[in-house]
Structure 1
Amino acid sequence: MAVRWSDMDAYGHVNNARFLTLYEEARVAMFFVGARAQGLTSFEEGIVISRHEIDYLRPVDYGEAVRIDLWISELRAASFTVSYELFDEGVLASRAKSVCVPYNLEKQFPRRLTEAERDFLKPYLEA
């Protein structure tokens, strides 16, 4: 993920709130770009975040792109947890988790994961 000039705070580090944006971009690439490439479009019906958790391990300065590894750390009937690690110049700088809830945006209520969604997520499930 590219670090943008607008991600910086007054100290020249990536602002703590911008870590969420970087994690979001990685997650969206997985759910929309990756899933769509496999013919799965049901994630586009809606996903909401019920919880974020971030540990900041070291500052990240403006410069090279950061690497974000992500995987599914928990898979339930009506939610799943995405875990992340953000590396800056090969050094772990942050860990995070997002609890995602499939959501019917049209009818405004949570829904269960479909079998196709579960099948898409299973290869990313932490063993």
Structure 2
Amino acid sequence: MAVHVYPCPIRWSDMDVYGVVNNVSFLRLLEEARVDLIWRLGAQNGDAFFSGGSVVVSHAISYRSPLVHQHSPVDIHMWVSEIRAASVTIDYEIKDDETVYAVASTTMAPYSYEGRHLRRIDAREEAFLERFFEDRRAIKV
């Protein structure tokens, strides 16, 4: 098990009129971290995780503390909490040394854009995902 930590910059444009990072911007930050995990690390290690494509099935976010623009990045800790035949769930904690700003979860499914259908996770993808598996959920249901 390995939790992947992505140091994510907070941009001035991520804030809304109230001076906090907007809820939609949180989804963008999570996407940025997820891309770093899947495409940068996957490609780096010879894996073709979701090389045929993928779709987001669902997102859930629980906000814990307001996040505002800052010059140092926040850390997005992420891990795989569930691997199924045709979906994977990635959980996150967005935090710095002192504060947890949000916890979140994204479920994705591998998708064939060429054939326009969902597909199963293949053996290489599963092996890649298992490296980041941790049996815990960021959001307790």
5+ unaligned residues in a row in structure 1: which ranges?
none
Give the match for residue 91 of structure 2: 83
Match of 1:32 among 33, 39, 61: 39
RMSD: 1.1
1:5 aligned onto 2:12: yes
Moved more, 23-32 or 42-51: 42-51
> Which segments of structure 1 move beyond 4 Å, counting only runs of 4 or more?
none
| Alpha carbons 1:81, 1:99 under 8 Å: kept | yes
State, as a whole percentage, how many aligned pairs show the same letter.
39
Q: Greater relative contact order: 1 or 2 (C-alpha under 8 angstroms, separation 6 or more)? A: 2
5+ unaligned residues in a row in structure 2: which ranges?
1-7, 136-141
| Alpha carbons 1:68, 1:85 under 8 Å: kept | yes
Give the match for residue 94 of structure 1: 102
Q: Give the alignment's TM-score, normalised by structure 1.
A: 0.96
CA–CA distance in 1 between the matches of 2:126 and 2:103? 24
CA–CA distance in 2 between the matches of 1:124 and 1:108? 28
The aligned length equals 127
CA–CA distance in 1 between the matches of 2:66 and 2:96? 9
Q: Give the alignment's TM-score, normalised by structure 2.
A: 0.86
Deviation at 1:42, TM superposition (A): 4.4
1:104 aligned onto 2:112: yes
1:18 aligned onto 2:16: no
Q: Secondary structure at the match of 1:53?
A: strand
Which structure shows the bigger proportion of residues in helix conformation? 1
CA–CA distance in 2 between the matches of 1:109 and 1:90? 43
Task: Give, as a single letter, the amino acid of the residue that structure 2 aligns with 1:125.
Answer: F
CA–CA distance in 1 between the matches of 2:25 and 2:98? 19
CA–CA distance in 1 between the matches of 2:18 and 2:64? 16
Match of 1:118 among 115, 119, 126: 126
* CA deviations over 1:43-72 (Å, ceiling 9, x no partner): 221110000000011110111311000000
